A and B are shown apart, each in its own frame.
Chain A
């Protein structure tokens, strides 16, 4: 596994939600009502039995607690840190109904799963060899979760990953104050620990190998390649140095030491979660003035309100109802973003032009969709750039399945894991088709 440099920029960040000690975990676990048909379970895409794992913390059965979590979600360790729990399990906790602080499910989950990692507890074994093999395209959470489940069912697995790192955006995308890349890679190793998952990095499907070739080599294929690179705004001046895609910049910040010389101000274009993360990250690595530029109003932002609130506390500035119309520069280097104010119907207001100074501009206006890879494969259809799948993850092409961002259009790690596992179970049924159950 590729080693990450210890000097990488993300290491300046501390945990936004620090881990629990034993006393805190016990106090919090004892507060849980152990609801039946619990709303928190329903709010979790992987349906972890949350009240059960919390009860086990309260009786000091930490191993059982971790087992309960991992049985539903093999990425339970990272999900504990990176899930937007405020809008998932914690948001559904019945304590909210009493206007009392909800149970800190993410922190409790982290408490149990960190312990499992520290102790080296393992809970799952590969099933008896089925003689079948499955190709998994992309090495992000969707493929890894699927591969783990497929191994439990006894199928051989090969992951084809274009980069040198596994983990996908869980390693190179999530904000470092939630989880750093080394921890994500540790989790990848832990998942691979079930054995029998062959990993081929540096292989881009569509460039080095085609989907049709893979279908010949393997009995089934799972597409888990996530979304494509950042979309960029083609406004005048966009070729200036210092204008970058936000996801690409974040990946660099997480895996390398950034060169920030000469950058005193930065701007981020967009109003989604990637934009909000990028703002907090720029402030965190030491850029003094960071402005979010968004077409809509603050209330219209698609980024989570709790994340944006934290960005504002960290010192973020914002230019709402502003449309970038160009970039100014000096000696080939960007110096500012030209924007025009928009009215309530998002029409430019005459005379509303101004320049927001920035030596670094990050574009967070979405990631590009799938293209050439799936062209010409019978039965595979795209809608809005996503692979079309049924509820179990099957595409229209027999033996080809898809899961994660590439199929759901871009959600969270926990969705990718849930879909990956569901697709693996569908693949298992497909491979055993004809066998009596």
Chain B
């Protein structure tokens, strides 16, 4: 209602201004102008056009899903390549989308080989009206064998060189899309920065085999009698994406804007990426599975979240959780929690009893005359396992214990400066 101030969702990602931070990632949902215009009508703030490059052809089939218990596709993989539509058509549609949706962000994803090809395709993208460019150094299948995609993203020197060409040719912001198929993301982010990128987006998909057809003895997704490794994405990859985003966000030498990608399926996921330093977020799998309409809840949920925390604009919240990230050696060893079971909401499933008994420290016991188990707090190490397995939200809480010890980290202890509380559950 107008009596409350509405939080401003306007996002600025390396100078690309969008009405909200929700972008479609470069993928099938951004294949064509007609799709992107429907997406903008549904509420998406920006779209990264399906990667443009030299003509390719795709196989059939292309996708695989990881289903878990009753959840379909908590993970998703694909062996599709970049756009298979003619470049002329793509550029014509980009121009049309920009004409009809001047306030929305159209970022054009590109992947070509030679310096001349980069010069040519960047000019055409900008002429068509691109608000920004995204260099696809991430695709882990098909294109990397041709020396593009993740073959570039995995090699910092190559990444820096190609980024520098794009920075030279482009008059609009350049984002480098990083691949997660590396053991440390930081050198790759720094290479993009050294090459002159205005920002980065991450993650692209993770090299994967989604499954095996156990009757045909063929890996999936099956292309006749064979298949190949694909790119993994969807909710299951979010923790990997968050880790990589956080690693760059807290790297003092980095400091570029980040567009976060990987497993974002709801406003809550988006908030996590923003709190870890992203200025915008990109979504692919959730839209592939459920359609553009999911953005309504994302926008509304983010707005209510901001209101609840009195954040007037995105910059009030971006990066707020970054300082909480520490090396293990800096954690407070004396912080102690124990599990508390709320007898009023406990349904007596005793999932926690089994989990603690077999998977943790054998300190939750069935109680006499009641289905509500009993926690032996003197043995509870505060690991969270019971809370994770409990099907009733809020039933098990991890309550801090005042053990009288001042905060002390392992590093303090090694340096002879801290006193550690006695170990629990280690007999």
Closest chain A residue to B304, Cβ basis: A63
Q: Does A115 contact B (CB under 8 A)?
A: no
Contact between B297 and A52, CB atoms less than 8 A apart:
yes
Closest chain A residue to B305, Cβ basis: A61
Q: Does A26 contact B (CB under 8 A)?
A: yes
**Chain A neighbourhood of B395, CB < 8 A:** 23
Given A59-B268, A61-B267, A64-B304, also A22-B297 (CB < 8 A): no
Given A23-B345, A36-B291, A61-B267, also A56-B297 (CB < 8 A): yes
CA distance A21 to B70 in the complex (A): 22
CA distance A60 to B297 in the complex (A): 10
Closest chain B residue to A123, Cβ basis: B1
Q: Does B393 contact A (CB under 8 A)?
A: yes
Contact with B along A1-41 (1 / 0, CB 8 A): 00000000000000000000111001100010010100000
CA distance A97 to B247 in the complex (A): 48
Q: Does A55 contact B (CB under 8 A)?
A: yes
Given A63-B304, A122-B1, A125-B2, also A26-B393 (CB < 8 A): yes
- Among A23, A59, A122, A125, which residue has its beta carbon within 8 angstroms of that of B297? A59
Contact between A52 and B301, CB atoms less than 8 A apart:
no
Q: Does B326 contact A (CB under 8 A)?
A: no
B117 vs chain A, min Cβ distance (A): 40
**Chain A neighbourhood of B297, CB < 8 A:** 52, 55-56, 59, 61, 64
**Chain B neighbourhood of A52, CB < 8 A:** 293, 296-297
A193 vs chain B, min Cβ distance (A): 11
B99 vs chain A, min Cβ distance (A): 25
Q: Does A254 contact B (CB under 8 A)?
A: no
Contact between A23 and B391, CB atoms less than 8 A apart:
yes
Contact with B along A179-194 (1 / 0, CB 8 A): 0000000000000000
Contact between A64 and B1, CB atoms less than 8 A apart:
no
**Chain B neighbourhood of A60, CB < 8 A:** 268
- Among B1, B301, B393, which residue has its beta carbon within 8 angstroms of that of A23? B393
Q: Does B290 contact A (CB under 8 A)?
A: yes
Q: Does B406 contact A (CB under 8 A)?
A: no
Q: Does B300 contact A (CB under 8 A)?
A: yes
Which of B1, B70, B268, B297 has the most chain A CB atoms closer than 10 A to its own CB? Answer: B297
**Chain B neighbourhood of A422, CB < 8 A:** none
**Chain A interfacial positions (CB closer than 8 Å to B):** 21-23, 26-27, 31, 34, 36, 52, 55-56, 59-61, 63-64, 67, 122-123, 125
Closest 3 pairs between A and B when the two form their complex, measured CB to CB: A64-B300, A61-B301, A23-B392
Pairs A–B under 8 Å by Cβ, sample size 25? A21-B345, A22-B393, A23-B345, A23-B347, A23-B391, A23-B393, A23-B394, A26-B393, A31-B70, A34-B290, A52-B296, A52-B297, A56-B300, A59-B266, A59-B267, A59-B297, A59-B301, A61-B267, A61-B297, A61-B300, A63-B300, A63-B304, A67-B300, A122-B1, A125-B1
